[in-house]
């Protein structure tokens, strides 16, 4: 069981992602904005973080940037789960340190599969 933080201001999308990951056996916290997500990430140090790009307070990319600058958080895997679909958005997120990028709308089974892949990769290192 991994501890996962999801930050998404779309309550329905967040709940779908949370429910799929809980059904797969993970502990999941869901937060509505980047600022509160970063505070919880710093306090709880999860095994994986899922961020939406467009959120109030701090965007997902700004949260990602703060994580990658932190000695305590830089190696936590981060998946971007967003409605931004251009290749430039994907490249920017990966350049800033995202480990994976999943576009909305998404298949919950694919989300679980990709999260499991990220977690497995982290355990190998």
* Residues 2-43: tens digit of each pLDDT: 999 999 999 999 999 999 999 999 999 999 999 999 999 999
pLDDT for residue 125: 34
- pLDDT tens digits, residue range 39-94? 999 999 999 999 999 998 899 999 999 999 999 999 999 999 999 989 999 999 99
Q: Find the helix or strand (DSSP H, E) in which 65 lies.
A: helix 60-69
Superfamily, domain 3-120: Response regulator (3.40.50.2300)
Question: Domain residue spans in the chain?
Answer: 3-120
**Residue 106: pLDDT band by 50, 70, 90 thresholds?**
very high
Q: Using alpha carbons only, what angle is made at residue 96 by residues 94 and 98, rounded to the nearest 5 degrees?
A: 45
Max intra-chain CA distance, the chain: 35
């Amino acid at each position: 069981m991994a501890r996962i933080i999801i930050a998404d201001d779309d309550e329905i999308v967040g709940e779908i992602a949370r429910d799929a990951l809980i059904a797969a056996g993970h502990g999941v916290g869901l937060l509505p904005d980047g600022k509160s997500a970063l505070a919880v990430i710093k306090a709880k140090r999860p095994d994986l973080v899922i961020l939406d790009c467009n959120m109030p307070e701090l965007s997902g990319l700004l949260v990602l940037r703060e994580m990658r600058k932190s000695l305590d958080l830089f190696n936590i895997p981060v998946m971007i789960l967003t409605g931004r679909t251009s290749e430039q958005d994907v490249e920017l997120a990966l350049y800033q340190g995202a480990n994976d990028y999943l576009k909305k709308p998404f298949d919950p089974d694919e989300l679980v599969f990709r999260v499991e892949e990220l977690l497995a990769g982290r355990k190998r290192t």
